[in-house]
Amino acid sequence: MQWSATLQAKPRPRMQPLARFDLHKDRRANVRVNLELSGRFLSEGAEDHGLLTRNISCGGAELIAHDQPEVDTPVICYLDDLGRLEAKVVRQTANGFAVKFNVTPRKRDKIADRLTWLANYKELGLDDERESPRHAAGGPALVTRADGRVLQCRTIDISLSGAAFEADGPAPPVGEIITVGNLRGEVVRTLQNGFAIRYVHKGES
């Protein structure tokens, strides 16, 4: 009985309020995505050479290229959709080499935003808004609910693991599986005038 009383007297942990869904942290993470971006690179005192990205993050990339600069060689890469990037070779690979970007935090954020958009906009059925890449997650999207109803939504944020939408009317409940473009997602949070999802990959229920 004394043990029971002790348990009853123990204070209950305080429930922390849920923070507003925010995908910026995920977008800033140094996550590599499999994107094929063509381009050129220049090494010290050499002519330019062609390249193709095998995978890329806001901090560096693995490049497919016939010419392979030595490790620690500074290079300048010109990548489609990203522009000019200063980098340093960190290793050679069987089909090219890998680089680490030498960019400012502001430039790193811009790269992260652009890569997130490039990795997701086609799958979400959105247009590529090249004129304003930082705010590209503002396009309309058609979201199909589990019962077949279609919601006219506006994409307000995108990350490599999910997206957030603004919608008129009631939002789908947490746990509902929805479809947007070629992607399936699970509603993980409701927002003011909207909701957020995580992508559901093949093999998941």
Q: Identify the CATH number of the domain in which residue 97 sits.
A: 2.40.10.220
- Is residue 71 assigned to a domain? yes
Residue 80: give the domain boundaries. 38-109
**Higher pLDDT residue, 117 or 55?**
55
**Looking at residue 31, what is its pLDDT?**
76
Residue 17's pLDDT band (cuts 50, 70, 90):
very low
Q: In which band, very low, low, confident or very high, does the pLDDT at 5 lie, cut at 50, 70 and 90?
A: very low
Residue 24 belongs to a domain: no
pLDDT at 14: 37
Within this chain, do residues 142 and 196 fall inside the same structural domain, yes or no? yes
Q: How would residue 187 be classed by pLDDT, with cut points 50, 70 and 90?
A: very high
Residue 116 falls inside a structural domain: no
Indicate the pTM of the whole model. Answer: 0.55
Contacts from 64-71 at CB under 8 Å and sequence distance 24+? 64/95, 64/96, 65/41, 65/95, 65/96, 65/97, 66/96, 67/43, 68/92, 68/96, 68/97, 69/43, 69/97
Instruction: Evaluate whether residue 158 is within a structural domain.
Output: yes
Q: What pLDDT was estimated at residue 46?
A: 67
pLDDT value for 151: 92
Distance CA 157, CA 154 (A): 9
Residue 2 has pLDDT above 80, yes or no: no
pLDDT of residue 86: 93
The pLDDT value given to residue 135: 40
The separation between the first and the last C-alpha atoms of the chain, rounded to the nearest angstrom, is 45
Number of domains making up the chain: 2
The tens digit of pLDDT for each residue in 54-108 reads 999 999 999 999 999 999 999 999 998 888 999 999 999 999 999 999 999 988 8
